[in-house]
């Protein structure tokens, strides 16, 4: 969302308090935000709060009563890459649908040439009323993108659908819109492996690792946001995919992940192998719980199959394959070796020597090495930002 120009329109509903968090989130993601408020919105949140958060003056009236300076809705509408009205009250939606132009937000809407988003916010009965639904349908028919309200407790104390979507959901909708519109991944199908695998010792014990799956899930969300259909093959993790374009296939062991990948990869345009797959498993899993007898216990371990290598062998010319390398020493040389031996298009190297990189953290620091021997080093970033860097590199492949 870096550099995007967004008009945040605030109409007069109780959810206007959430507009502060939304403005903050949009600014945090790099957008330039200008706020237009209806006169009623001032009763719910002050222009001072919004101006402070966005570092831009707030427009409420057609002109400044002190100095007569004109707030041009036309130039505002032309300046913006998007107009997002949050909250959009029943009153404002109705006026938008009718083309009423009695405040600056409505005139801005009518003269805007950019995509328009609206996050309805009202009591459940108002939201369900045929008049409100018809206005929403009219606006959707004219291209307004509605960000659906959520169900839950409402300001009235009633419980139902009508609560404005959370600021993060609204910011995600804007992000997805741009990511998808500009992406070559739109309409492609991508397989992603994520998380650890558990290798059974007996019915209650396993060999596992500390992988949280956060990196793989972040890649899944980013590719889905860019319009790809994602098949996410996940080991045992505590995460849930959010995006509707993600189909999660849950597995436990390396063997199960291998089988799921062999079945799924042929129907995909590419794959990202980010799972931390066990390299060894117990040769046999005991049928019942192993008892504590004697002073030592030996487990005979045998190698699992290398899934990424198998995908490398199966890979067609029209498919891409991305792997990870988590290294503790000889990082570059080991990663380069993986690139070739597994037939990858590029390898994402993360070193356990870097603070904030690797398992369980919310951040990662990566280096990408491609088949042309080009090495790109990135700074320490959130896993969502790292996922965007990886997606950008995938887009360069196709
Ligand atoms: O050889 P190494 O395990 O370090 O390679 C890491 C890469 O290979 C990662 O992309 C990982 O997801 C993949 N891998 C795999 N199946 C295995 C082992 C690793 O897909 N059994």
Q: For residue 366, is the peptide bond before it cis, meaning its omega torsion is within 30 degrees of 0?
A: no
Please, what is the end-to-end C-alpha distance for the chain in angstroms? 23
pTM for the predicted model, two decimal places: 0.76
On the question of a common fold for 5-178 and 183-397, the answer reads yes
Ligand 1 centre and the CA of 276: distance in Å? 7
In degrees and rounded to multiples of 5, residue 30 shows phi and psi of: 100, 5
Q: What element of type H or E holds 38?
A: none
pLDDT per residue rounded down to tens, the chain (398 residues): 889 999 999 999 999 999 999 999 999 999 999 999 999 999 999 999 999 999 998 887 777 766 667 777 778 888 999 999 999 999 999 999 999 999 999 999 999 989 999 999 999 999 999 999 999 999 998 889 999 999 988 888 888 899 999 999 999 999 989 988 889 999 999 999 999 999 999 999 999 999 999 999 999 999 998 999 999 999 999 999 988 899 999 999 999 999 999 999 999 999 999 999 999 999 999 999 999 999 999 999 999 999 999 999 999 999 999 999 988 888 888 999 999 999 999 999 987 777 777 667 788 899 999 998 899 999 998 898 899 999 999 999 96
Ligand 1 centre and the CA of 260: distance in Å? 15
**Nearest residue CA, atom 4 of ligand 1?**
325
Q: How far apart are CA 18 and CA 40, in angstroms?
A: 15
Class for the domain spanning 5-178? alpha beta
DSSP tag of 148:
P
Q: How far apart are CA 294 and CA 284, in angstroms?
A: 20
Quick one: which atom of ligand 1 is closest to the CA of 348?
10
- Choose one of 275, 312, 314, 337 to mutate for the ligand 1 pocket test, by most ligand atoms within 8 angstroms of C-beta: 275
Q: What element of type H or E holds 345?
A: none
Catalytic site residue 56? no
Q: How far apart are CA 248 and CA 245, in angstroms?
A: 10
Ligand 1 centre and the CA of 247: distance in Å? 22
- Choose one of 253, 258, 324, 328 to mutate for the ligand 1 pocket test, by most ligand atoms within 8 angstroms of C-beta: 324
Q: Taking CB atoms and a 6 Å cutoff, what residues make up the pocket around ligand 1? A: 193, 254, 273-275, 277, 279, 304, 306-308, 323-325, 338
Model pLDDT, residue 388: 92
Residues 10, 86: contact at Cβ < 8 Å? yes
Residues 30, 1: contact at Cβ < 8 Å? yes
Provide the residue ranges of all domains of the chain, joining segments of one domain with +.
5-178, 183-397
- What is residue 250's three-state secondary structure? strand
Model pLDDT, residue 358: 67
Class for the domain spanning 183-397? alpha beta
Ligand 1 centre and the CA of 256: distance in Å? 15
**Nearest residue CA, atom 2 of ligand 1?**
325
Q: How far apart are CA 230 and CA 192, in angstroms?
A: 7
DSSP conformation letters of 184-230: TTTT-EEEEEESB--EEEETTEEE-----SHHHHHHHHHHHHTT-EE
**Nearest residue CA, atom 13 of ligand 1?**
308
Model pLDDT, residue 61: 79
Quick one: which atom of ligand 1 is closest to the CA of 261?
20
Q: Where are the alpha helices (DSSP H) in the chain?
A: 16-28, 47-54, 73-79, 90-98, 104-111, 124-128, 130-141, 167-181, 214-225, 254-264, 307-314, 331-341, 383-397
Angle between helices 16-28 and 47-54 (to 10 degrees): 10
Ligand 1 centre and the CA of 240: distance in Å? 22
Write down the catalytic residue from 67, 91, 103, 209.
209
């Amino acid at each position: 969302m870096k550099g995007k120009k967004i008009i945040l329109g605030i109409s007069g509903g109780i959810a206007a308090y959430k507009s502060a968090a939304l403005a903050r989130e949009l600014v945090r993601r790099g957008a330039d935000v200008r706020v237009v408020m209806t006169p009623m919105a001032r009763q719910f949140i002050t222009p001072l709060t919004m101006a402070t958060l966005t570092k831009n003056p707030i427009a409420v009236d057609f002109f400044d009563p002190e100095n007569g300076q004109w707030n041009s809705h036309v130039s505002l509408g032309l300046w913006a890459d998007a107009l997002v009205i949050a909250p959009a009250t029943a009153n404002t939606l109705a006026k938008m649908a009718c083309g009423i132009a009695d405040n600056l937000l409505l005139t801005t809407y009518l003269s805007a040439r950019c995509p328009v988003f609206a996050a309805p916010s009202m009591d459940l009965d108002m939201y369900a009323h045929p008049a409100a639904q018809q206005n929403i349908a009219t606006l959707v028919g004219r291209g307004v993108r509605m960000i659906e309200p959520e169900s839950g407790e409402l300001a009235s104390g009633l419980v139902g659908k009508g609560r404005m979507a959370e600021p993060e959901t609204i910011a995600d909708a804007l992000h997805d819109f741009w990511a998808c519109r500009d992406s070559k991944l739109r309409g492609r199908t991508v397989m992603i492996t994520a998380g650890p695998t558990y290798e059974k010792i007996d019915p209650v014990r396993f060999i596992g690792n500390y992988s949280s799956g956060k990196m793989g899930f972040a890649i899944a969300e980013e590719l889905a946001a860019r319009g790809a259909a994602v098949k996410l093959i996940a080991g045992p993790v505590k995460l849930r995919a959010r995006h509707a374009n993600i189909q999660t296939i849950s597995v436990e062991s390396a063997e199960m992940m291998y089988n799921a990948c062999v079945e799924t990869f042929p129907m995909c345009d590419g794959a990202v192998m980010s799972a931390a797959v066990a390299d060894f498993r117990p040769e046999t899993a005991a049928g019942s719980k192993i008892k504590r007898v004697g002073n030592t216990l030996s487990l005979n371990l045998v190698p699992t199959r290398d899934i990424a290598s198998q995908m490398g062998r199966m890979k067609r010319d029209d498919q891409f394959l991305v792997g990870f390398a988590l290294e503790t020493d000889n990082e570059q040389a080991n990663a380069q070796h993986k690139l070739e031996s597994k037939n990858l298009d590029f390898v994402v190297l993360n070193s356990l020597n870097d603070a904030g990189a690797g398992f369980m953290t919310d951040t990662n620091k990566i280096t990408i090495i491609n088949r042309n021997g080009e090495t790109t080093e990135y700074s320490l970033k959130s896993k969502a930002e790292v996922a965007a860097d990886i997606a950008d590199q995938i887009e360069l492949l196709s």
